Structure 1
Amino acid sequence: MNGQQSILVVDDEPDIRSVLQEILEDEGYLVSTAENAERAEALLAEARPDLVLLDIWMPDTDGVSLLKSWRGSGTLAFPVIMISGHGTVETAVEATRLGAVDFIEKPLSLAKLLLTVEKALAEGIPGEAANQAMVDGPEPLPLLVGSSARIRELKSELESAQAGSTTVLLVGEGGSGRSAFAQALHRARVARTRFVHLRAETLTANNAQRELQGEEQGGTVRQGYLEAAAGGTLFISDAELLPKAAQSALSAVIEQQRFVRVGGEQRLPFTARVVTAARRDPEVLAREEAFDATLARQLAGTRMIVPPLRERLEDIPALLEAYVDWHVRIEGLSYRHFSVAAQNRLRNHDWPGNLLELKNLVQRVLLLGSGAEVDVGEINRALGDAAAESSVIVLRHDLPLREARADFERQYLLRCLADVQGNIGDLARHVGMERTHLYRKLRSLDIDLDKVRE
């Protein structure tokens, strides 16, 4: 049962707010809604929700900016699920780096919504549960699947690194599976020890030492990340975002294998293995004087390049098979087979969201689709490929000038929306309009963004 867990829905579209409130209240949740960032902040000042559903695109302050604000001010004390439209997958993946736990896509799927909400409430805030829990939870999503040259090379490197205790650096794009690769490395090395995930962007110059080393005050001891990971793995994601204070503290700990809690005197042993992930190699950043050179060398005991999905497209059929099997076994979804045409269509997609985007797509078609086979039409709809439907703008000479102009503008904007995959920010830049004016224009032309993105 959900008890009286509370959820805040932040979305500028009244219909979305209404539907989500009705669905979630039917499931027993307490739901409040906000139409913009200002109203959301007012509600948060009154009471902290257990979960926030946050729309990415809103006319004034967008969801990602609001998420950054909560993270920067230290008020992100609840899990956040982003609501994205087609064409905003890359932005949604970026939001997970900033602290969002997951994202759901419009048009909303009831099954996916409830599954994602239940999972987020169970797991809580990123990093919070990691400090307490052993890595013995659900079977992770398979990643080391396929036979491409890049994945064979990575498999070999992981096998070699499993036996050692040196630091490991995973360099790759967001959504490419760096965190899961780090967990795979941990699981193969030591059973039932802690895997502690530290998101570098959560540290500031003021809190870095306390968060890393812990604190003693008035007889009360609070463990830091170094102590929580004892005997296991300390995984630091987006290490290039570590503030200088954290870089200095971490470098000293790796060098001395000892640390002292803030306010304490006892030198404690540091016994965890450090695995880091970065989008850019810290040693490259060090040469640009943007990262501590000593720490950069320390972190790269073993360096691995995690390839983006677009560089291992030949692995997609094997990944699809593995992902479908995983969702069937772990989430109880119905088995469906991807047709050859559907697989070929996926191999021609550029995958800005990498493996995370593929995982969500597979889950989406299993939840929403019917029949034994997933065909290419279903894939086009799932990818928001409206451009495949129509690419010709027809000039209506049979209409009065005003109506013909409105018809042309409607066709033009629909075509442009297809070109940018429903991304309002990209559309605004493309057509040279401010986003607020663009929203008004779309409404005046009766263009329903949700239907365009279907």
Structure 2
Amino acid sequence: TGKELVARAIHFNGILRKGAFVVADCSGLAQDLLESELFGHEKGAFTGAIAEKLGKFELASGGTLFLDEIGNLSLATQAKLLRALQEKKIERVGGVRPIKIEVRIIAATHRDLEKAVREGSFREDLYYRLNVVLINLPPLRERKDDIPLLVEHFLRRYSSESGGRLKHVPLKTLDLLMRYDWPGNVRELENVIERAVVMGKGDAILAQDLPLEIQKLSDQSHLIISSGRLSLKKRVGELEKELITDALEEAHWVQTKAAKLLGVSRRIVRYKMKKYGIVSN
């Protein structure tokens, strides 16, 4: 869903932007290794600990620590995390000396933590300690307005990394990207753009540079693309208005049915109709 992108945006647009931005994936390691990853360890703390290691908290001191999939933490690790947040101190695994930390925490999860609290698998006190500002991030298929901006972001990133010229996305290709449902969310979109930048032969990313499941949507397309040079914002607006109008006509102007065809909420359809001045004939 782009959780890390949002976390990075918060960090690099805030007062801690000069500090480090550190990511800890709470689902990628066994719990005993995760404690070492978060809090660090002393030399000889366990078999294989041949040297002192700084944990994510220390590495992020003065900046932001992004805890991804925090709902996967064991209750024991949750207790240590809560103590670290409350006391602003940690102890490395195998250590006895408290280490002061100053770090902002951004946490993310796909789990329903309120339900986890009721079921006893997530600590209530930790939940309320973390839940200061809540940002609900819907799947990409429910916020397709973000796709053009994300495409532009990934184009710049991977064009720069590959050392090539900045590529562009024609309106016809953008149409395909906007109509795809993105079951893999933002990460899938990122992978598609990276592949197209690396493998594409021209300066434009065409339908043939996209995966087959997205190319197939072109067979269903009946959109008439306007000619002329338009800004990305105007292109998206023109495309969006056309798609919404087509869906409304197909749904006989029943907004709920049109919303289902577009994969968005009825509220979004109403908002877009007002934005673009779309009215029933």
TM-score using structure 1 length: 0.42
Contact 1:238 1:277 in 2 (8 A): yes
Structure 1 residues 367 and 287: alpha-carbon distance in aligned structure 2, compared to 1, 3 A threshold: same
Contact 1:198 1:235 in 2 (8 A): yes
2: CA distance between counterparts of 1:344 and 1:222?
49
Partner of 2:114: 283
Which of 325, 333, 341 aligns to 2:164? It is 333
CA-to-partner distance for each residue in 1:196-248, whole Å, 9 max, x for gaps? 22211245453454443333356964333322322222221111111221111
Partner of 1:126: none
Instruction: Give the letter aligned to residue 38 of structure 2.
Output: L
Partner of 1:355: 186
Structure 1 residues 258 and 349: alpha-carbon distance in aligned structure 2, compared to 1, 3 A threshold: same
1:384: Cα distance to partner?
6.0
Which of 179, 196, 201 aligns to 2:4? It is 179
Partner of 1:240: 71
The answer on 1:214 being equivalent to 2:45 is no
Structure 1 residues 262 and 334: alpha-carbon distance in aligned structure 2, compared to 1, 3 A threshold: closer
The answer on 1:199 being equivalent to 2:25 is yes
1: CA distance between counterparts of 2:26 and 2:209?
38
2: CA distance between counterparts of 1:331 and 1:240?
36
Local SS of the residue matching 1:215: coil
1:310: Cα distance to partner?
0.9
1: CA distance between counterparts of 2:87 and 2:148?
47
2: CA distance between counterparts of 1:379 and 1:203?
33
Structure 1 residues 360 and 289: alpha-carbon distance in aligned structure 2, compared to 1, 3 A threshold: same
Partner of 2:61: 230
Which of 80, 84, 104 aligns to 1:273? It is 104
Local SS of the residue matching 1:383: helix
Contact 2:70 2:107 in 1 (8 A): yes
- How many positions carry a matched residue from both structures? 214
Contact 1:203 1:246 in 2 (8 A): no
Instruction: Give the letter aligned to residue 186 of structure 1.
Output: H
Partner of 2:224: none
Local SS of the residue matching 1:252: helix
2: CA distance between counterparts of 1:209 and 1:346?
40
Partner of 1:190: 16
1: CA distance between counterparts of 2:38 and 2:60?
10
Local SS of the residue matching 1:305: coil
Contact 1:203 1:242 in 2 (8 A): no
Structure 1 residues 373 and 382: alpha-carbon distance in aligned structure 2, compared to 1, 3 A threshold: farther
Structure 1 residues 383 and 277: alpha-carbon distance in aligned structure 2, compared to 1, 3 A threshold: same
Structure 1 residues 215 and 371: alpha-carbon distance in aligned structure 2, compared to 1, 3 A threshold: closer
Instruction: Give the letter aligned to residue 177 of structure 1.
Output: G
2: CA distance between counterparts of 1:195 and 1:269?
18
Alignment of 1:11-410 (within 5 A): 176-188=1-13, 189-217=15-43, 221-376=52-207, 378-379=209-210, 381=212, 383=214, 385=216, 388=219
Contact 2:27 2:72 in 1 (8 A): yes
Local SS of the residue matching 1:222: coil
1: CA distance between counterparts of 2:158 and 2:183?
22
Percent pairwise identity: 29
Gap regions ≥5 residues in structure 2: 46-50, 221-281
1:325: Cα distance to partner?
3.6
Structure 1 residues 314 and 203: alpha-carbon distance in aligned structure 2, compared to 1, 3 A threshold: closer
2: CA distance between counterparts of 1:318 and 1:211?
34
Instruction: Give the letter aligned to residue 131 of structure 2.
Output: A
2: CA distance between counterparts of 1:370 and 1:194?
37
Structure 1 residues 340 and 195: alpha-carbon distance in aligned structure 2, compared to 1, 3 A threshold: closer
TM-score using structure 2 length: 0.64
1: CA distance between counterparts of 2:87 and 2:9?
27
CA-to-partner distance for each residue in 1:159-204, whole Å, 9 max, x for gaps? xxxxxxxxxxxxxxxxx22112222222233244222222112454
Instruction: Give the letter aligned to residue 142 of structure 2.
Output: E
Choose between structure 1 and 2: higher helix proportion.
2
Instruction: Give the letter aligned to residue 228 of structure 1.
Output: L
2: CA distance between counterparts of 1:242 and 1:275?
15
Gap regions ≥5 residues in structure 1: 1-175, 390-454
2: CA distance between counterparts of 1:387 and 1:337?
19
2: CA distance between counterparts of 1:343 and 1:384?
12
Contact 1:208 1:245 in 2 (8 A): no
CA-to-partner distance for each residue in 1:97-153, whole Å, 9 max, x for gaps? xxxxxxxxxxxxxxxxxxxxxxxxxxxxxxxxxxxxxxxxxxxxxxxxxxxxxxxxx
Contact 1:216 1:262 in 2 (8 A): yes
Contact 2:176 2:214 in 1 (8 A): no
Alignment of 1:431-442 (within 5 A): none
Choose between structure 1 and 2: higher strand proportion.
1
Instruction: Give the letter aligned to residue 23 of structure 2.
Output: H
Structure 1 residues 248 and 203: alpha-carbon distance in aligned structure 2, compared to 1, 3 A threshold: farther
